[in-house]
Structure 1
Amino acid sequence: MWTDNLRIMYQYGLTRHGRRFRSREELGRWQERRLLHHLEKVRKGSPFYKELWGSRPVTDWRDFPMIDKSLMMAHFDQLNTAGIRKEDAFALALEAERTREFTPQIGGMTIGLSSGTSGNRGLFLISPAERMAWAGAILAKVLPGSLFARHSIAFFLRANSNLYGTVGSRRLRFEFYDLLDSMEQHLSCLNEQKPSLLVAPPSMLRLLAEQQRQGRLRIHPERILSVAEVLDPLDKRYVEEAFGQPVHQVYQCTEGLLAATCSHGTLHLNEDIVYIQKEYVDHSLRKFVPIITDFSRYAQPIVRYRLNDLLTEREQACSCGSPFTAIEMIEGRCDDVYYFPAVSGSQWIPVFPDFISRAIIAASGEVEAYHAVLHAADRLEISLQVKADERAGAQTAIAGALEVLCARVGCRMPRLEFTSYQPQVSGGRKLRRVESRAGR
């Protein structure tokens, strides 16, 4: 009989030491076997997928219809294999949000609520076995040392969950920090805990880094992990300088544990857990939208699920030797790609978020923080936090850099509005350094 601890230890060992793929081809053959077995099981257990796929053989799974968040939520009752109603799951998850008591379960299933970057609420459903497997996998990918050493984890997020609390044990001290609590409370608890692993969204890491520089926060974590939001290069550098540690990343959403950084700091897709097809937005720039099939989850099957995220594949393989796809950066939502009218003709020219970020960051070393919001095709607001008495020079340099960018891609330059930067704390909406609120 498997105990919870045994399941965690087994998955930890399998993830960190058990699976070694010598090539992409070997990995692909292993994935295909897992996928076919998993999809046959899903077809039998999920009325939604059974109807969606019809009589097509599972060997044709790459051509099965795609789903997205709206379709998953619309058919939640028929999609999950645990017989749980969306109405009941939402009621339980919303009550947990109201009371800040994050232990909701239905029939042993962990229920969670996700807002996502779009603000559209989604539900996730995890079985006890899946919860233990997740805990083992995440510990293998993020712990700075052995599972059997002592670790103290400080975890900042909008909402706690049984899923996250699973990692706690006698050797693993796990403390959840509610993003809605005050900074004074956070500082007091962190200075007492002295975590070896600090996990938080970039916006909170940035605030903690400021407190560390001021001497009000006095911790020395062995590893810092960025989660839940896009990690901007400017924030990454600021946090690393404050703590003297590289910032690692985990890319996780309602739909699965999708990627984590290796010991070399490179973000790799977790292709031992999920299969990710690439819908290229711009093949020459290696930018794609991920379509996920998670072969580790059965309670809420995720099959051919199209995310609204934009990823850039790394051009060179990582020197760590992993066959898992290396990612250069997560750019954010597809909705945050800027579209400007072409200089000539009636076309709309896409300008990707990282182009805007790089133009702002590279233009001036005086920029400490920024938020770029496209309100309309001809109106771009850039909120800046700059070093004292350097605002005018920074604004001029950024305007020049954006003019060069627009000329290079052949689009019209929008009217720029520079405003003062207001820190965004991750208590509600997720931080997006580059954001589009314009329609086309």
Structure 2
Amino acid sequence: MKLADTLRLGAYLARTRWLLRFRGRAAFERWQQRQVRRFLDTHLPRSPYYRQYAGQPLSALPVIDKQAMLAHFDGMNTAGIGLDDATRAALDAEMTRDFAPELRGMTVGLSSGTQGPRGVFLVAPEERARWAGIMMARTLPAALMRRLLIGRRPVKVAFFLRANSNLYSTLKSRRVDFRFHDLVQGVDSHLPALIEQQPDLLVAPASILARLAQHAANGVLPIRPQRVISVAEVLEADDRVRIGQAFGLDVHQLYQCTEGFLGYTCEEGVLHLNEEYVHIEPEWLDREKTRFVPIVTDFSRTTQLIVRYRLGDVLRVRSAPCTCGAPGRAIEAVEGRCDDVLWLPGARQAGLSALYPDMLRQAVTSAPAALPDYRIEQHGMAWRIAVADGAQASHAALAAALQRLIARHELRPPAFQRMPFVDSDAHVKRRRIRCVQRPATSQENHA
């Protein structure tokens, strides 16, 4: 890393950890609006696509999604890189598992593609340094921060994901022993390296952490991380408990995706949006304003502009304020993708009503007897369900738990059908609930 980028990393670490302080939400929002305005004034004219919107307020710019981003990729980035070249470079890295090569000085990567086509991202070296500083400020507990700054030993990080990136490896230095564990190679093959490293931070998707927790509980994985962080998947209640018990820690979360670093768990254990660097417009899904789809403007990224990007995620707002003092909105949960929401017609009213993923998960965990791992797929008025043990009793108990939820919301019950249980490969994101096709109707309500 160049000296300028090292200094930038340190500056953003200090800025994020200690310097950005606000007297209240109103003061923060005024500050954020100034940052967004400066970002738009400086960077929209540099983008062939956004140049036509220069000088206009954020609210006047179009809301885009992944399809629009890919369609206008060439004009939305300021590096003059075309989608075909970026995709080719990213696919080459995926095939060879060598993620170090760059494209004209830029880091290129692919999203996992859990919903529609795979997204492509571009990151410049200065953005990588900025991201690394912010990330360390958000994730290191006090003891590890002291070791990073003045300790003799490096902070040891074990990172499991489907693909590596120069973005992630920016963390690697004399002060940080960062090791990437490729999930394409499975999980168990990495156990000897984990035991040898004895990581201070263990970072992985929730389903992988659950697998590692099982090994730790069985005495196969004798490690004692100081922090365990879930990424890339929904952290469900059963996994949270299992992981926490195995490692003796509360599980933290990072809400990071192709579109930016969107959220983190504070020291009080509450998930916050990273609004000091990302502007979030909530697209509310219910009258009570308890759930929303985020529309994201990342004013820390200057190469691939993320401006009013509508994510396909459903976020649930935390009702009680957090005492940590962070200005970012407190979130109860990232519930999943929009197509993790299931829909049924009302028994007494027209139109479809939404059953959100947390409602379904709560129904399953509240069943009289503990249920094994499961999958639910909606195909119109048919719900296909599967259980890991394949037992008829487990299948019946899962169907009964869902029927109780449906009756409580006064919805018309679907036909339940059995399907084989297929567990995801380690490098594929786990999705327990998925709406493949909604029932046919023209109206929607929100349960």
Scaled to the shorter chain, the TM-score interval is over 0.9
Secondary structure of 2:373's counterpart equals strand
Query: What are the superposed Cα offsets for residues 83-133 of structure 1, whole Å, 9 maximum, x if unpaired?
Result: 111111111110000000001312211111112321521111111111100
Query: What are the superposed Cα offsets for residues 135-155 of structure 1, whole Å, 9 maximum, x if unpaired?
Result: 000011012221324310000
Any conservation in 1 of the 2:384–2:419 contact (CA below 8 Å)? no
Q: Which runs of 5+ in 1 are unaligned?
A: none
* Residue type of the alignment partner of 2:7: L
* Residue type of the alignment partner of 1:408: R
Match of 2:182 in 1: 178
Cα distance, 1:402 vs. partner? 2.2
1:40-55 equivalence runs, <5 A:
40-51=41-52, 53=53
In 2 relative to 1, CA 418–238 (structure 1 residues): closer, same or farther, beyond 3 Å? farther
Equivalent in 267, 270, 274 of residue 270 of structure 1: 274
Cα distance, 1:356 vs. partner? 0.5
Query: 1:196 and 2:195 equivalent?
Result: no
Query: What are the superposed Cα offsets for residues 150-176 of structure 1, whole Å, 9 maximum, x if unpaired?
Result: 310000011100000000111210000
Match of 2:101 in 1: 104
* Residue type of the alignment partner of 2:158: A
Any conservation in 2 of the 1:367–1:384 contact (CA below 8 Å)? no
Cα distance, 1:307 vs. partner? 0.6
Match of 2:413 in 1: 413
Q: Which runs of 5+ in 2 are unaligned?
A: 440-447
Secondary structure of 1:133's counterpart equals helix
Secondary structure of 2:79's counterpart equals coil
Match of 1:293 in 2: 297
Cα distance, 1:363 vs. partner? 1.1
Equivalent in 59, 63, 74 of residue 62 of structure 1: 59
Any conservation in 2 of the 1:331–1:353 contact (CA below 8 Å)? yes
Any conservation in 2 of the 1:379–1:415 contact (CA below 8 Å)? yes
Distance 2:245 2:100 in 1: 37
Match of 1:357 in 2: 361
Query: What are the superposed Cα offsets for residues 247-292 of structure 1, whole Å, 9 maximum, x if unpaired?
Result: 1000011100000000111100001110000000113151000000
Distance 1:257 1:420 in 2: 36
In 2 relative to 1, CA 285–397 (structure 1 residues): closer, same or farther, beyond 3 Å? farther
Give the TM-score taking structure 2 as reference length: 0.92
Any conservation in 2 of the 1:232–1:433 contact (CA below 8 Å)? no
Distance 1:318 1:14 in 2: 21
Distance 1:39 1:371 in 2: 43
Query: 1:401 and 2:405 equivalent?
Result: no
Cα distance, 1:31 vs. partner? 0.6
Query: 1:220 and 2:224 equivalent?
Result: yes
Distance 2:168 2:303 in 1: 18
In 2 relative to 1, CA 385–232 (structure 1 residues): closer, same or farther, beyond 3 Å? farther
Match of 2:133 in 1: 136
Q: State which drifts further: 410-419 or 22-31.
A: 410-419
Distance 1:22 1:326 in 2: 17
Match of 1:339 in 2: 343
Secondary structure of 2:285's counterpart equals strand
Cα distance, 1:216 vs. partner? 1.5
Any conservation in 2 of the 1:364–1:398 contact (CA below 8 Å)? no
Query: What are the superposed Cα offsets for residues 283-338 of structure 1, whole Å, 9 maximum, x if unpaired?
Result: 31510000001110010011111111110011110121222100000111111210
Secondary structure of 2:366's counterpart equals helix
1:246-395 equivalence runs, <5 A:
246-284=250-288, 286-385=290-389, 395=395
Query: 1:31 and 2:32 equivalent?
Result: yes
Match of 1:92 in 2: 89
Secondary structure of 1:260's counterpart equals strand
Query: What are the superposed Cα offsets for residues 172-207 of structure 1, whole Å, 9 maximum, x if unpaired?
Result: 100000001133421111111111100000111111
In 2 relative to 1, CA 185–270 (structure 1 residues): closer, same or farther, beyond 3 Å? same
Any conservation in 2 of the 1:201–1:426 contact (CA below 8 Å)? no
Match of 2:445 in 1: none
* Residue type of the alignment partner of 2:47: S
Query: What are the superposed Cα offsets for residues 375-414 of structure 1, whole Å, 9 maximum, x if unpaired?
Result: 332323142459xxxx666555544432232122221122
Distance 1:420 1:361 in 2: 21
Equivalent in 207, 213, 217 of residue 209 of structure 1: 213
Distance 1:266 1:365 in 2: 30
Work out the number of aligned pairs and report it: 431
Q: State which drifts further: 339-348 or 93-102.
A: 339-348
Match of 1:434 in 2: 433
Query: 1:169 and 2:166 equivalent?
Result: no
Any conservation in 2 of the 1:293–1:302 contact (CA below 8 Å)? yes
The root-mean-square deviation of aligned C-alpha atoms, in Å, is 1.9
Query: 1:79 and 2:76 equivalent?
Result: yes
Secondary structure of 1:283's counterpart equals coil
Distance 2:239 2:373 in 1: 8
Q: State which drifts further: 160-169 or 335-344.
A: 335-344
Q: State which drifts further: 3-12 or 27-36.
A: 3-12
* Residue type of the alignment partner of 1:67: I
Any conservation in 1 of the 2:374–2:385 contact (CA below 8 Å)? no
* Residue type of the alignment partner of 2:343: Y
Query: 1:118 and 2:119 equivalent?
Result: no
Secondary structure of 2:363's counterpart equals helix
Secondary structure of 1:373's counterpart equals strand
Distance 1:90 1:399 in 2: 43
Any conservation in 2 of the 1:385–1:420 contact (CA below 8 Å)? no
Query: What are the superposed Cα offsets for residues 203-224 of structure 1, whole Å, 9 maximum, x if unpaired?
Result: 1111111211222111111000
Secondary structure of 2:245's counterpart equals helix
Query: What are the superposed Cα offsets for residues 45-88 of structure 1, whole Å, 9 maximum, x if unpaired?
Result: 0010123x2x6x43x21232111111111111111001111111
* Residue type of the alignment partner of 1:300: Q
* Residue type of the alignment partner of 2:437: A
* Residue type of the alignment partner of 1:215: G
